[in-house]
A and B are shown apart, each in its own frame.
Chain A
Amino acid sequence: MKSLKNHISLIIALFTVLASVQIYVAVDRTIAAYETRLKDDYSVIVVANKAFTAEEFKSMSSMIERSEPISTMQVLDRLKGEMSQKNLDLLRLTLPKFYRIYLNRYPSPKEINSLQHLLQRNPSVERVEGFAQTHDTIYKLMLLFKNVVQVFSVAIAAVTSLLILKEMRLWQFQHAERMSIMALFGAPVWLRSAVLFRLAIVDAIIATIILCLAFFVIDYYGFLIAQLKAIGISVQLFNFVNDALRSLGIALGISVALTFMIVIFPNEED
């Protein structure tokens, strides 16, 4: 019973680390998907006094994916009843050219500024509107969210690693008699500590299985995915091959590394 309790303590601690890492990965994926959506919706408006081809815009910056002219017909149609055809033709000739420029990725506020300056350096470009303020707020919110989750994950990983270390010291104490008997018969350190490594590996595997089950339940009931879909984001929160393998790697890495630590640097009180 006591042994089971010790196992559960380590499994919960490992599961917490894995869950925090996976939540960070899921948030990162969600933000990346949101960035893609924003990128598709986002465009820079350029007002120029001469016509530009798509190739000319592309040559100005590697960030520019494509461009499309904005038709002025809608504005002119509205003036049809108020102006003569001759004046309308004259106006059409004198009106500047409007372009919508799409980028190949979601830009940072700094990138928007430098793109604006780059475009404005062309003498034919009269004005560039990057909608920096709206864009900046959304982007900063996203980064803040990502950073908070990252800090949270690192803090959880650090605290739980200390808990795991304590738990393993307890294991070492529980198995001290067996390990000292093995030492009397010349067992090398790795063989004496094999029981600790075995326990660490088994618990790492169990913690990973529980994580997979937890995300399977989340995936199966789909409430989180439905919420994300509602704001136009389609994302896979847990990949049952790559994420499971990565989680297993992390769990094994942490538990084996911490076991190594207590084996190589035994407690002075032992």
Chain B
Amino acid sequence: MDKVIIAQNLSLSYKEFETIISRATFSIDAGSFVFITGASGSGKSTLLKSFYGAIEPKQGQLSVGGVNMNRISTSKLNFLRRHIGIVFQDYKLIKEWTIEKNVMLPLIISGYTSDVSGSQVQKLLGHVKLIHQAGKYPLELSGGEQQRVAMARALAHNPILILADEPTGNLDEYSSSVIWSLLEGANSQLKTTVVVVTHHIPEGLNVPYIHYHIDAGNINEIA
């Protein structure tokens, strides 16, 4: 099976003498659903950041989608990010843009025509039950609705990999269920690899998943 993420002796740190992830070796298969858990400050969000190039490996090797993340060039990183969908705990929506345009962002970046991106956005807003809010601005929506918009944005360009950082951390039950069902759908129907960083793995998931736990900088697979 193809590997989407390969880490070999990967160490991550923000400061010179403070290692957050230490010599981790693991791989994530294409089409798999992966949870990364750990205590607060254990480095799970840092690890996720390294997958989309927000932090460079301090030591070891990291490959995402076949792209070597060590000293990656800006153009290569942009290319990789155009094939990744990211969901953040704080949503990261552009507040000056409408919901519709926010969802369209990855399609604009990838250069899709307005016809294609328009119909794709309508479809996704329908999936996240926000079609009637398309013309509104992010700050006019609740937190749960904003995260559903962020989820629709992450799926807009049919990415090969979805990275989600605490996607349901502050959400109500309904919004959480919409988010999980979308992630499940992307994984089971589109075979998109999904990596979720979370404190708690939700119960009743309908897809098989792999669970990594971070403890004291080490990454262990939980059987």
Interface residues of A (CB under 8 A from B): 177-178, 181-189, 191
Contacts and interface: CB of A to CB of B under 8 A. Distances in A.
Contacts of B93: 181
Given A186-B79, A186-B106, 13 more contacts: A178-B97, A182-B94, A183-B78, A183-B81, A184-B52, A184-B54, A184-B81, A186-B77, A186-B82, A186-B83, A188-B78, A189-B74, A191-B108
A188 B73 CA distance: 12
A181 B92 contact: yes
B109 A191 contact: yes
A218 B90 CA distance: 55
B105 A182 contact: yes
B94 A185 contact: no
Chain A, interface SS category: helix
Given A182-B105, A182-B109, A187 B78 contact: yes
A148 B85 CA distance: 60
B164 to A, nearest CB: 13
A42 B92 CA distance: 75
B86 interface: yes
Interface string B137-169: 000000000000000000000000000000000
A184 B54 CA distance: 8
A185 B109 contact: yes
A145 B34 CA distance: 76
Interface residues of B, number: 23
A152 to B, nearest CB: 40
Contacts of A189: 74
B96 interface: yes
A178 B86 contact: no
Nearest to A180: B92
Contact of B80 (A178, A186, A187, A191): A186
A184 B92 contact: yes
A110 B83 CA distance: 72
A189 B109 CA distance: 11
Shortest Cβ-Cβ A-B pairs, 4 listed: A186-B81, A186-B82, A186-B78, A187-B109
Contacts of A187: 78, 109
A231 B103 CA distance: 67
Contacts of B108: 191
Contacts of B106: 185-186
A177 B138 CA distance: 14
A184 B95 CA distance: 16
Interface in B155-213: none
Interface string B95-136: 111000000011011000000000000000000000000000
A266 to B, nearest CB: 13
Contacts of A191: 108-109
17 contacts: A178-B94, A178-B97, A181-B92, A181-B105, A183-B78, A184-B81, A185-B86, A185-B106, A186-B77, A186-B80, A186-B81, A186-B83, A186-B84, A186-B106, A187-B78, A191-B108, A191-B109
A188 B78 CA distance: 7
A184 B86 contact: yes
A181 B146 CA distance: 15
A7 to B, nearest CB: 15
Nearest to B77: A186
Contacts of B94: 177-178, 181-182
A244 B17 CA distance: 60
A187 B108 CA distance: 9
B162 to A, nearest CB: 13
B223 to A, nearest CB: 33
Q: Give the residue among A177, A181, A185 with the most B Cβ atoms within 10 A.
A: A185
Nearest to A189: B74
Nearest to B81: A186
A187 B111 CA distance: 10
B92 A186 contact: no
Contact of A185 (B54, B74, B75, B105): B105
B82 A178 contact: no
A186 B157 CA distance: 12
Interface string B46-60: 000000101000000
A187 B78 CA distance: 6
A189 to B, nearest CB: 8
A185 B96 CA distance: 17
